[in-house]
Amino acid sequence: MKIYLTHCSAKKDDSLKETGGVATPDRLYTSAFVRRFTSKCVERDVGWAIFSDLYGVWFPHVEHAWYDKHPDTVTEDEFRELVRDFDEKLGDYDEIWFYYEPPHYHPFYDRLLRAIACGRKVEKFSDLDLIG
């Protein structure tokens, strides 16, 4: 089994903040790099998820509320929970492809990828044409 993953972004659909509504990750995140990633995954019909600094691994069929959580604000307890969540949700995958664009990439995600038990399965990439 293979899955494609990218990290969250600060740019979100603010209408959800105002209404308190919930959304799937492809609807919540409005940044161009996340939109390009989710569109390519849908186009190529592959499994994908977003790594949220608050919710952890967020699959496309799951809805969550709008939030504001920067990687710099993740506490040690929250970090341990995010690591546990990542391993629990993605540990059975044979391949985990982590998409990033260098201008949007925070060192927090390298720390996360070093801490997870299934880290040996993770391949970082920055070319969307590798999806599929």
Is 114:19 a contact under the CB 8 Å cutoff? no
Q: Residue 42 above 90 pLDDT?
A: yes
Mean pLDDT of 7-22: 92
**pLDDT digit string, tens, across residues 66-106:** 999 999 999 999 999 999 999 999 999 999 999 999 988 99
Ranges of each domain in the chain: 2-130
What confidence score (pLDDT) does residue 118 get?
86
Measured distance CA(112)–CA(64) in Å, rounded: 22
pTM of the predicted structure, to 2 decimals: 0.94
Q: Residue 123 above 90 pLDDT?
A: yes
What confidence score (pLDDT) does residue 120 get?
87
Measured distance CA(61)–CA(130) in Å, rounded: 23
Measured distance CA(8)–CA(25) in Å, rounded: 9
